[in-house]
Chains A and B, each alone.
Chain A
């Protein structure tokens, strides 16, 4: 009989999570209680993290093409949501989710800083427009 964990968001919403999904989180794994409050993470974000865990618990083979596509869609969110997801996944210590999210942020920065036709290394004085673009990413 697998246990059910209760995750509570900072705005007091509770999510019930099956053991297999919950134990993807190292924080939950090392917790003595099955009721965990996740501080600073609202329901909207916590719900998404739970959704990711459920999806990954049910699929054994993470190299499966379908799950890769699902993951790619999952991280295609706007940067504010992305940054909040990172905070949540980091608190809950879900390594693979953190990896996917940080890779996504990395790709976004690459897109804003790599020019398509560029055959020499830039010097340490960046162009104004790149500065503006990076600032818009929240730097």
Chain B
């Protein structure tokens, strides 16, 4: 009977459902399956706001501590209680053995997770994965490799090109073996498109900059953003517009010098580009500044949200930010220096009141924590493998 409704109505009804329900619906009848697998429906479902979740990637002790630890992916509700929403069974690492021991969550967009095997060694192995429908696409080897171009540093970003309806992975590569005229512009880029299934070189970024290490990027306003080093040792934010495929420079707040650990992010409401910068002063006391860019690309509009007061004895505790919550709070890890901590402290910081609440993550070491929304993306991609 549902197929007797106009398409708009059946899409409307089904787009209100969470993924767990839709998966069950696909097995009920051929018409239902074809509605749910339809690319148009997948986008309709995506446009509707579903529950805000958080993807936690961590290492946890098994039920009995003597059984050692296991790597875990879990979805949590973005609520004060941080309730567990769903465990995720991840099987791709049985097909692709990461040389670094595990993948890293490099980026998330529209329910797709971009995984990278680049923690220490550059395996040049990337996966685009939808954990809720258990589908994944393994990316082919990129163009700029050690074999072809010599030693390098790289950093990737992941986002959605609304003009071509395509998900893209962009890779920045700073080459070390360069002849003189290229030394000014050592950074090149390439882009992978999910639609074509292949990498394409973009050549030189065109702006003098360097990548020193892999840092989280931010996808905002149709652009992927990275903090990069300018060749003259100041920093700026490099923005790549997925539609026009052009690079642009966004200046950091006036009068600041970013510490080595600086990264971009997006505020919880999705409205502003944000900047986390943490640094030590001359007494080795750690500080964390959170900035928000009130008007995109206007340097004067950078507004400091908070300077987090030094934490722990003698300010020795390092605050490491993970992400913003929908409420505007920020998840931070507080890690004591110099010795191995079995249990980190994960807290939720209110930048307005500076109040921090502990978040119980049950004896786990948190690798990453990111905002997540369920989707059906990849269900209509033929060569996506089940995992």
CB distance from A58 to the nearest CB of B (A): 27
Does B243 reach chain A (CB closer than 8 Å)?
no
Contact status A114-B21, CB under 8 Å: yes
A128: nearest residue on chain B (CB-CB)? B27
Does A50 reach chain B (CB closer than 8 Å)?
no
Q: B interface, how many residues as a size bin?
A: 20 to 34
Does A120 reach chain B (CB closer than 8 Å)?
yes
Does A63 reach chain B (CB closer than 8 Å)?
no
Contact status A121-B9, CB under 8 Å: no
Does B254 reach chain A (CB closer than 8 Å)?
no
Known: A90-B6, A113-B20, A124-B23. A138 touches B1 (CB 8 A): yes
Instruction: Give Cα A139–Cα B34 distance, bound, in whole angstroms.
Output: 13
Chain B residues with Cβ below 8 Å from A134 are 24-25, 28
Instruction: Give Cα A31–Cα B12 distance, bound, in whole angstroms.
Output: 26
Chain B residues with Cβ below 8 Å from A98 are 9, 12
Does B120 reach chain A (CB closer than 8 Å)?
no
Known: A139-B2, A139-B32. A114 touches B20 (CB 8 A): yes
Contact status B12-A87, CB under 8 Å: no
- How many residue pairs at the A-B interface have CB separations less than 8 Å? 86
Most buried by A among B14, B19, B23: B23
Does A3 reach chain B (CB closer than 8 Å)?
no
Does B176 reach chain A (CB closer than 8 Å)?
no
Contact status B16-A106, CB under 8 Å: yes
CB distance from B292 to the nearest CB of A (A): 31
Chain A residues with Cβ below 8 Å from B88 are 120-121
Does A1 reach chain B (CB closer than 8 Å)?
no
Instruction: Give Cα A61–Cα B244 distance, bound, in whole angstroms.
Output: 46
Does B232 reach chain A (CB closer than 8 Å)?
no
Q: Interface SS of chain B: helix, strand, loop or mixed?
A: mixed
Contact status B84-A121, CB under 8 Å: no
A127: nearest residue on chain B (CB-CB)? B24
A106: nearest residue on chain B (CB-CB)? B16
Contact string, B1-19, partner A, CB cutoff 8 A, digits 1/0? 1100110110011101111
Interface residues of A in 14-50 (CB under 8 A from B): none
Instruction: Give Cα A106–Cα B6 distance, bound, in whole angstroms.
Output: 16
Chain B residues with Cβ below 8 Å from A102 are 9, 12-13, 16
Does B133 reach chain A (CB closer than 8 Å)?
yes
CB distance from B120 to the nearest CB of A (A): 31
Contact string, B204-243, partner A, CB cutoff 8 A, digits 1/0? 0000000000000000000000000000000000000000
Contact status B86-A119, CB under 8 Å: yes
Most buried by A among B12, B14, B26, B84: B12
Contact string, B128-142, partner A, CB cutoff 8 A, digits 1/0? 000111100000000
New A-B pairs, 5, CB < 8 Å, besides A120-B88, A123-B134: A109-B25, A120-B87, A130-B24, A131-B27, A139-B32
Using a CB–CB distance below 8 Å, which chain A residues touch chain B? 83, 86-87, 90, 98, 102-103, 105-106, 109-110, 113-114, 118-126, 130-131, 134-135, 138-139
7 closest cross-chain pairs (CB), A and B: A138-B1, A126-B27, A106-B16, A113-B21, A113-B24, A134-B28, A126-B24
